[in-house]
Amino acid sequence: SESPLAGFSTALSQTPSISSISSEGREDLQVNRLETQIWIKPDIQKTDVDFSEILNAIQEIAKDVNIFFDELEGVNSPSKDDDSLLHHGNLTSTSDDASRLEVVGEEVPDKNKTNGLYFRDGKCRIDYILVYRKSNPQTEKREVFERNIRAEGLQMEKESSLTNSDIIFVKLHAPWEVLGKYAELMNVRMPFRRKIYYLHRRYKFMNRIEKQISRFRGWLPRKPMKLDKETLPDLEENDCYTAPFSQQRIHHFIIHNKDTFFNNATRSRIVHHILQRVKYEEGKNKIGLNRLLSNGSYEAAFPLHEGSYRSKNSIRTHGAENHRHLLYECWASWGVWYKYQPLDLVRRYFGEKIGLYFAWLGWYTGMLFPAAFIGLFVFLYGVTTLNHCQVSKEVCQATDIIMCPICDKYCPFMRLSDSCVYAKVTHLFDNGATVFFAVFMAVWATVFLEFWKRRRAVIAYDWDLIDWEEEEEEIRPQFEAKYSKKERMNPISGKPEPYQAFADKCSRLIVSASGIFFMICVVIAAVFGIVIYRVVTVSTFAAFKWALIRNNSQVATTGTAVCINFCIIMLLNVLYEKVALFLTNLEQPRTESEWENSFTLKMFLFQFVNLNSSTFYIAFFLGRFTGHPGAYLRLINRWRLEECHPSGCLIDLCMQMGIIMVLKQTWNNFMELGYPLIQNWWTRRKLRQEYGTQRKTSFPQWEKDYNLQPMNAYGLFDEYLEMILQFGFTTIFVAAFPLAPLLALLNNIIEIRLDAYKFVTQWRRPLASRAKDIGIWYGILEGIGILSVITNAFVIAVTSDFIPRLVYAYKYGPCAGQGEAGQKCMVGYVNASLSVFLVSDFENRSEPTSNGSEFSGSPLKYCRYRDYRDPPHSPVPYGYTLQFWHVLAARLAFIIVFEHLVFCIKHLISYLIPDLPKDLRDRMRREKYLIQEMMYEAELERLQKERKERKKNGKSYHNEWP
């Protein structure tokens, strides 16, 4: 018999550029063993197939699912009215329920009819669901819309809800003819020929090495993170060339079965494309499903999940019942948290846009492993060198150094040795490895982004996105309604479209920018309120009756301030979302992508400022402008500005980052999973209360999906925003908190499975949509990477004591002039970093109630404070010393050198790492060459075949070629 691939090389001269699809998760190319393998041969010969045998085989293995249904004939003719299509299946009372159960129990249900995925005839698969209420007054619009739907060739069937007789489900099915027609219009790429792999001679040596490595791996245990291909046979698919579908060249495509040639995600996307272009009223703007959803004509619209995600049987013994079940078992289950993601299967079920999100999230999580390891190493280095740290030793042994009070009146004098614990904790984060880690994280951010571009290119190649161009977007209905009176010709389509004047657009942008500036001022006001709280509370805690709080007043103040700040952050986030939505709608963006980009930028700006404003204050302003004892700077001449702890301000920054990061990620995870779980549980509870007392009721799939939560109106915005803010927290202040990448890694391992569980089990199935990249988020990531270099330079130079210690070691310590900077060179650093203050010089409002007699038996004459100032009896009392100016100059020099060095390294790495991997570039060139050869061979074969047919018919022509 003729090979099925024999005729695939014909007529390829008309085929556009060819991309490829990967070996995992492609367009349902694997032939189902129960289906008859039908090859559409080049001569388009018909194959006799007994479809009844196929249906019987499917029925024999189908699991019985209890779904209420009536054996009524489904009418798909456009001539019928809406009432004839309505299947009255609602239960109105307990007696009706009981009688219905008796009727159903007498019948032998067909799985196609009972699983809720097909029409009542058990043959037409449901591709899309529309939901409306009979009580809704928009009846005429719906009738016109549905009549036009049937005119487009879609088949329709209606069902009444089992739980609410007012809710009607409209089931839509696209026949093969409609799918083929619109797949061609939409340029849907489909497989037409298996790939031909080519191995160059120069790789033979590498193959030998790989064989030796594979033998060595045989001694090692199996990779636990890889997916089990035996358990997941659907992932083993052949690589194929793809081309835009064409009905004229249908015999070139690999079609095993017309019912499964277009997968469910593609079928739903085609139906949605049709629904977006169907009119519901007369008028050029009265078109599309989105407008009917916005005006309430329909309550919901969604594609169906492919059945239940749970099964009584093990997937290892019985296999997966559907792709949803497969995704749950190998991706969304918590038991596979250590496994790689089946991205091709995610893409096939949810579409390229969602697949790219999970690919990026997985890549980001994988890249966090080296960052988390190095950060943990820096922390452990601080632990191991703690006993050898000269600064910590001097602080812990400084029992004779009395520090000045850190607040007015009620704060007592304290020994420097009381800060021993905080000095040791500070050393864990501020040690010799901190600078190296800051440089590493700046380079890491660049490497992460550069290698993501390479990874995205591979995914785009595997998923047929290299040559994909986004369709011209439709104009937003709000834009059309606002500017319908002003029109101009579209330079691309040549059709008239609404037009927004330049002056109107500028005025709206100015108002929007003013709103953004006002909201940023609100954030600054909130930070100012936190500052006042810290100033007032530290005195209150210092006079507290509990000794634990009184002795740790500054730490208690920082901890409570951070928790209050977190509550303010979460409350302002709700306000920001409403303000950003209002300002974005005020701008009147023309298309949905413009609206999404504008809203994304505003929300990111608001959230970023809201989340990091207090952190910036602690890192760069806390304790920097307080003055000195006897001349403190005050807010509105009343409140004395807060000082740093005697061990430094870094401990406050660490507490701020640690508490905010842990609380925010915990709260986000709870809201992402807990809120949908609670809502779905409440819905199931109400259903059980109404129907569960008589008999366990199983609802059709459309009813189950309707009771799930719809996907967020902003799509993947919340998921991306959470991760981008985390990326900023991980990189911007990482020099102060090296454990941030580790916390981010642990959170993301949970986040991947949490998001997967949410998509598979708690949300309705989103419409599969295409995208080439992560959009505007990549530019935001690059901006954060640049900002992180600057902030880490300032954290090391200003917040930490790295520069003062370095200056002391080389200029003022025992090793001055010797070029050494070890621990022995730090002897005397603590005493050199403290200035002397005469207690009698205190202002009346600052003078402490205690005279410090508890330390030496007599009132104190002097106390110490952190600064580089002259003693009180010098010619210029409390003036800056020369060491202060040396430290300041060293800090500025370090910032300049650090920034330029790191930016040079970042740009060098960006230049050296190509955007496309070499093997991918070679594959694309090789494929282009093979396509040219295939096109030539196809044209030659076609001409030879035509010549033979002419000779066979007894006709001859002159000048024939070849």
pLDDT of residue 360: 94
Within a 10 A sphere around the Cβ of 572, how many other Cβ atoms?
Answer: 20
Closest CA to 647 of 836, 825, 417, 803: 417
Across residues 630-640, what is the average pLDDT? Answer: 81
850 vs 219, 409, 474, 555, 854, CA distance in Å?
73, 8, 74, 21, 9
Across residues 737-741, what is the average pLDDT? Answer: 90
pLDDT of residue 212: 61
pLDDT of residue 884: 93
11-59: pLDDT as tens digits: 333 333 333 333 333 333 333 333 323 233 333 333 344 434 433 443 4
- In this prediction, residue 689 has a pLDDT band, given cuts at 50, 70 and 90, of low
Beta-bridged to residue 498, according to DSSP, are 487
Across residues 337-341, what is the average pLDDT? Answer: 87
- In this prediction, residue 196 has a pLDDT band, given cuts at 50, 70 and 90, of low
pLDDT of residue 99: 31
pLDDT of residue 85: 38
Distance (Å, whole) CA 736 – CA 657: 9
Proportion of the chain above pLDDT 70, given as a percent:
78
Out of 140-154, 322-336, 588-602, 810-824, pick the least confident. Answer: 810-824
Domain ranges of the chain: 79-195+240-304, 351-800
Distance (Å, whole) CA 183 – CA 382: 61
Q: Is the pLDDT of residue 66 over 80?
A: no
Cβ-contact 650, 736 below 8 angstroms: yes
pLDDT of residue 613: 86
- In this prediction, residue 207 has a pLDDT band, given cuts at 50, 70 and 90, of low
Higher-pLDDT residue of 556 and 447 is: 447
Distance (Å, whole) CA 716 – CA 721: 9
Instruction: Tell me if the bond preceding 191 is cis, omega within 30° of 0.
Output: no
pLDDT of residue 62: 37
Instruction: Please report, as a single letter, which amino acid is at residue 107.
Output: E
- In this prediction, residue 213 has a pLDDT band, given cuts at 50, 70 and 90, of low
Cβ-contact 839, 856 below 8 angstroms: no
- In this prediction, residue 139 has a pLDDT band, given cuts at 50, 70 and 90, of confident
**How distant is the alpha carbon of residue 425 from its chain centre?**
34
Proportion of the chain above pLDDT 90, given as a percent:
19
pLDDT of residue 894: 93
DSSP symbols for 803-870? HHHHHIIIIISTTTTTT--SGGGGTTHHHHTEEEEEGGG--TTT--S--SHHHHSS--SEEEEES-B-
Higher-pLDDT residue of 746 and 691 is: 746
Within a 10 A sphere around the Cβ of 257, how many other Cβ atoms?
Answer: 15
Q: Is the pLDDT of residue 694 over 60?
A: no
Distance (Å, whole) CA 563 – CA 565: 5
Distance (Å, whole) CA 282 – CA 288: 12
Q: Is the pLDDT of residue 958 over 50?
A: no
Distance (Å, whole) CA 119 – CA 131: 16
Can you tell me which residue has the tokens 């104190």? 860
380-415: pLDDT as tens digits: 998 998 888 888 888 998 888 998 888 887 788 888
Distance (Å, whole) CA 636 – CA 259: 76
Can you tell me which residue has the tokens 């704060």? 411
pLDDT of residue 216: 53
Can you tell me which residue has the tokens 């129960």? 34
- In this prediction, residue 494 has a pLDDT band, given cuts at 50, 70 and 90, of low
Q: What angle do CA 707, 711, 717 make, to 5 degrees?
A: 165
- In this prediction, residue 370 has a pLDDT band, given cuts at 50, 70 and 90, of very high
Q: Is the pLDDT of residue 621 over 70?
A: yes
80-137: pLDDT as tens digits: 333 333 444 433 333 333 333 222 333 333 444 456 888 888 888 999 999 999 888 8
Cβ-contact 8, 43 below 8 angstroms: no
- In this prediction, residue 594 has a pLDDT band, given cuts at 50, 70 and 90, of confident
- The 8-class DSSP code of residue 230 comes to T
Distance (Å, whole) CA 31 – CA 46: 19
Higher-pLDDT residue of 790 and 494 is: 790
pLDDT of residue 132: 92
Measure CA of the first residue to CA of the last residue in the chain; give whole Å.
28
Distance (Å, whole) CA 648 – CA 375: 21
Distance (Å, whole) CA 721 – CA 419: 39
- In this prediction, residue 688 has a pLDDT band, given cuts at 50, 70 and 90, of low
Higher-pLDDT residue of 770 and 8 is: 770
Higher-pLDDT residue of 744 and 674 is: 744
pLDDT of residue 488: 76
Out of 311-325, 608-622, 944-958, pick the least confident. Answer: 944-958
Distance (Å, whole) CA 136 – CA 299: 9
Q: Which tokens go with 647?
A: 């061990």
Can you tell me which residue has the tokens 């530019």? 779
840-859: pLDDT as tens digits: 888 888 888 888 788 777 88
544-590: pLDDT as tens digits: 667 777 667 777 887 888 888 888 888 888 888 889 889 998 888 88
pLDDT of residue 314: 75
Q: What angle do CA 160, 161, 165 make, to 5 degrees?
A: 75
Burial of 863 per CB tally in 10 Å (0-12, 13-18, 19+): buried
Across residues 616-629, what is the average pLDDT? Answer: 83
Q: Are strands 189-194 and 414-415 parallel, antiparallel or unpaired?
A: unpaired
- The mean of the pLDDT values for the chain is 77
